[in-house]
Amino acid sequence: MDAEFNQTLITLGGFVDVDKYRYLYFVILLTLYILILSTNCTIMCLICIHRNLHEPMYIFIAALSLNSLLFSTAIYPKLCIDVVSQKQTISHSACLFQYFLYYSFAASDFLLLSAMAYDRYVSICKPLQYPTIMGKRTVVVLLTLAWFLPACEVVVATVISSQHKLCDFTSKGIFCNNTFFKLHCVKSAFLTVYGLFVMMNLVVVPVMFILFTYIKIFVITYHRCAEIRQKAAETCLPHLMVLFSFVCLILFDVIVARLESDLSKIVRLILTLQIVVYNPLFNPIIYGVKMKEIWKQIKRLFC
């Protein structure tokens, strides 16, 4: 690929009235980014500092917070720069890199939630075997797979996409996601099929595994004492809330990009912003409030 093609500028046409609300957009986006950084860093620091939180469940929560930080950093700084710029553009190579980061970290969320579901299953349903099954080695392997596997699969689509020439240079999005494929001169059947394979492998299978695991947990705990049922509800409910919200938002990405749904510009903007706002911002809030040990440390920190 020659340098001229690699540096082709793509216009991000998904913004609404950016000239009129430029500084309002900037303040909102910067505030959201700071909140995401502060809330997720608080959760990670509390888990690192306090030894009673050095358990697999809390390590996975810290990993989820770290993933949210990386995901947000791949999106928000560029958004803040774009809204104060006269033109909202991105080079072809930078767009591909942002696409890679966006989907790698998004898919990692599902695998981390799967690891958390497995941890809860072993803890509640096999408590005597828990220390043996969920040792340090298991935790390291699960964390490595959660970040390494999505990166390996998404990089294939990124490399193949980089070989396609562009005939359209105006994207309907505000950052580079699946809408980028619509700029190709020729629609790639391989990319479409491969995208479905990646979605099945990194989204559908983990979601099915999580649902199956929690159904098993609730069935087993139903026949046990009230204290165990309460423990199961307290630890599983936050995971299910996070999973449900993220699945709904990812469905929007699929519907708009893959099925080419005809949505108004303002609706598309609002839904796109929810993808990069809801999970990174509300995950640490949900875990901070719903997980007793974390909430206890938060109250000690601020009170």
Residue that wins the pLDDT comparison between 133 and 289: 133
The yes-or-no verdict on residue 3 having pLDDT over 60 is no
**What gap in Å lies between CA 26 and CA 23, rounded to an integer?**
5
Q: Give the pLDDT confidence of 59-93 residue by residue, as tens digits.
A: 999 999 999 999 999 999 999 999 998 888 888 88
Confidence bin at 1 (pLDDT 50/70/90): very low
Whether residue 34 is predicted with pLDDT greater than 90 in this model: the reply is yes
pLDDT at site 169: 84
Tell me the pLDDT of the chain averaged across its residues.
83
The total of structural domains in the chain comes to 1
Q: In a 10 Å sphere around its CB, with 0-12 CB exposed, 13-18 middle and 19+ buried, how is residue 163 labelled? A: exposed
Domain that holds residue 231: 3-302
Name the band, by pLDDT with cuts 50, 70 and 90, for residue 263. Answer: low
Would the pTM of this model clear 0.75, i.e. be above it?
A: yes
The enclosing domain of 194 has a CATH number of 1.20.1070.10
Q: Looking at residue 27, what is its pLDDT? A: 94
